[in-house]
Amino acid sequence: MTSQSTPSSSLRLQGKVAIVTGASSGLGRAIALAYSVQGALVTCADLKPTARPQVPDELNITTHELIQERGGQAIFVEADVTKTDQVEELVKRTVATWGRLDILVNNAGIAIEARERFRLHETPESTWDQTLAVNAKSVFLASKFALQQMLEQEPSISGERGCIINMSSIYGLVGGSFVPSYAASKGAVSLLTMQIANDYSKDGIRCNAICPGHTRTAIFEDTEKYQMSKEWFDQNYPTGVGKPEDIAGMAVFLASDDARWVTGTRMPVDGGFTAR
């Protein structure tokens, strides 16, 4: 089922099957919605279907229900992406529902340090362990089971078996302030992206990372309140802080056939932050 407002011949992800982790709010919600508009069949994965209360506009309707309301096709699968059995089941449920898996978006993540300022010697071990589990181990697990499925399935019409898009960060490219565990986790995501691209390109599987700058999500609300002042954002983002839709647009491109020769990239989408 396709969007009534867009001719099916122009849909960039027509018929492709996608998993988006962390899909209930923020960047994951924006990506899932954008994928559906472009014709994808979407599995929305998260700890719960409802959004975080910090963004009231997202509380009116869940992501998968909004996709369905707009004429798209989507399901919700509850999954803790740090748990092996739940991630494996997520991929199995997706394939059982849609028949294959073309796109994995490893978006689920946390930023404990958005609320608490730590240098490394002050960082609690629990903060380090939780951040690395949610932000890095989850990418390993979801990619592991997605790759197994993609290797087994026949290539699509374009010749690809699938693609993986990992959500890194500007702090997976450059150093930040008072975010040691977050930066370490996103650095791991950036380098794992390149490793996957190197190891699976000959199998027809691409892997790229998006490295967003500060974007207006629930995490941004914490950052603005506890970490950085409005003046800091104005100084470092002369074009303004990003919106989830800015990241979703890049996620659509990287998943589409237009990006068929793009793999192993760490793509900053940051209003020029890392160009300084």
Three-state SS at 208: strand
Residue 2: what pLDDT?
38
Residue 182 is among the residues annotated as catalytic for this protein = yes
Strands of the 103-106 sheet, one edge to the other: 73-78, 41-46, 17-21, 103-106, 162-167, 205-212, 266-269
Please say if the pLDDT value at position 137 is more than 90. yes
According to the model, what pLDDT value does residue 250 have? 98
Q: Please, what is the end-to-end C-alpha distance for the chain in angstroms?
A: 44
Give phi and psi for 42, each to the nearest 5.
Answer: -115, 130
The whole-number average pLDDT for the span 67-84 is 98
Catalytic residue among 171, 182, 200, 237: 182
Locate the domains of the chain by residue range.
8-268
Show the tokens assigned to 114: 């958005």
pLDDT of residue 228: 64
H or E element at residue 125: helix 125-132
The stretch 45-54 carries a mean pLDDT of 84
Unique residue bearing structure tokens 């990287």: 254
pLDDT at 54: 58
Residue with tokens 């960039």: 12
Single pTM value for the model: 0.92
Strands 41-46, 17-21: pairing kind: parallel
Residue 157 has pLDDT above 90, yes or no: no
190: its two tokens: 């950036």
CATH number of 8-268: 3.40.50.720
- 262 alpha-carbon distance from chain centroid: 17
User: What pLDDT is recorded for position 28?
Assistant: 96
Torsion, Cα 194 132 216 250, to 10 degrees, reads 20
Whole-number mean pLDDT of the chain?
A: 91
Give strand pairing partners of 76: 44
**Cβ-contact 138, 81 below 8 angstroms:** yes
> Looking at residue 236, what is its pLDDT?
78
